[in-house]
Amino acid sequence: MTYAGSRFIVKAGGESDHHLDRELRAHLNWLVPWTRLGRAPVLEHGDSEAKLLVTRYLPGELVLGSHHADAPATYREAGELLALLHAQTSSTDDDHEKRENDKSLTWLSGPHRIAPGTVERLRAEISSWPTPGALLVPTHGDWHPRNWLIHNGVVSIIDFGRAGMRPPFTDFTRLSAQEFRRDPKLETAFLDGYGNDPRQTPAWHRTRVREAIGTAAWAYRVGDESFETQGHRMIAEALAAS
């Protein structure tokens, strides 16, 4: 919408919507390192009870589907931006790993097309995992070129409906399963921008397995066969790395 010569984005959610609350929380607590650089939309108004969010319009085209999605420079900038988000604050959660394991086991108990033998292997592996305390930082939750804009060669970030406190490497899962797998140069550039590789921990494997299960089961539930196929591939690759 346009008002008084300025453009705005208005988002509204229904009673069952949880994404808008997460997005509002991100705007109120975590986006300043980006907004002060003009790299994320600025919040103008937010009402959690009314499930309404108004931000200033951020110009740019989506990186996904453009030639920028194959450019290492894009990923270097995205890595730099993610490092700014993650560096703001941290906390330790002793129950995080158990909660995430329970979510995966719930997915496995629901409708999906994961082979029975694979389900049993996944259940056994999850049951064998330790559940140490986890270091959590502010995360985007859907860190992927579909939520990156580029304008005049500069990368910006949108859509914070999955933002939350999680281990930093969880923002690497979707890139690792897709873009980094497609072109290792993109991974190298991203890590160069980010500054280190938080995946160098046993918890990364556990996260890969959980992400794979959730991808396959969720995609089956919504009828996205292409994404479901990716989920089954992710499961096979994660188990092969066990």
Residue 3 CA to residue 61 CA, distance in Å, equals 22
Q: Are 103 and 64 in contact (CB under 8 A)?
A: no
Residue 155 pLDDT class (50, 70, 90 cuts): very high
Residue 106 pLDDT class (50, 70, 90 cuts): very high
Render 99-138 in DSSP notation, one character per residue: HHHHHHHHHHHSS----HHHHHHHHHHHHH-----EEEEE
Q: Which residue has the tokens 């993650």?
A: 86
Given a cut of 90, whether residue 165 has pLDDT beyond it is yes
Render 20-59 in DSSP notation, one character per residue: HHHHHHHHHHT-HHHHTTT-SPPEEEEETTTTEEEEE---
The helix (H) or strand (E) run that includes residue 87 is none
Residue 228 CA to residue 241 CA, distance in Å, equals 20
The residue-averaged pLDDT of 46-65 equals 94
Q: Are 171 and 81 in contact (CB under 8 A)?
A: no
CA 209 → CA 99, 135, 184, 241, distances in Å? 14, 19, 21, 10
Residue 242 pLDDT class (50, 70, 90 cuts): confident
Given a cut of 90, whether residue 14 has pLDDT beyond it is no
Distance in angstroms between the alpha carbons of the first and the last residue of the chain: 50
Q: For 64-90, write each residue's pLDDT tens digit.
A: 999 999 999 999 999 999 999 999 999
Length of the chain: 242
Given a cut of 80, whether residue 1 has pLDDT beyond it is no
Q: What is the pLDDT of residue 60?
A: 96
Among the listed residues 239, 210, 240, 226, the one whose alpha carbon sits nearest the alpha carbon of residue 108 = 210
* Range with lowest mean pLDDT among 45-59, 98-112, 113-127, 178-192: 45-59
Q: Which residues of 11-50 are buried (b: 16+ CB within 10 A; e: fewer)?
A: bebeeeeebbbbbbbbbeebbebbbeeebbbbbeebeeee
**What domains are there in the chain, each with its CATH number?**
59-240 (3.90.1200.10)
Query: Across the chain, what does the average pLDDT equal?
Result: 96
Better pLDDT: 208 or 5: 208
Q: What is the pLDDT of residue 83?
A: 98
Q: What is the pLDDT of residue 228?
A: 98
Better pLDDT: 242 or 176: 176
17: tokens are 């919507």
Angle between helices 225-240 and 202-222 (to 10 degrees): 160
Residue 13 CA to residue 5 CA, distance in Å, equals 26
Given a cut of 90, whether residue 15 has pLDDT beyond it is no
Residue 219 pLDDT class (50, 70, 90 cuts): very high
Q: What is the pLDDT of residue 2?
A: 77
pTM over 0.85: yes
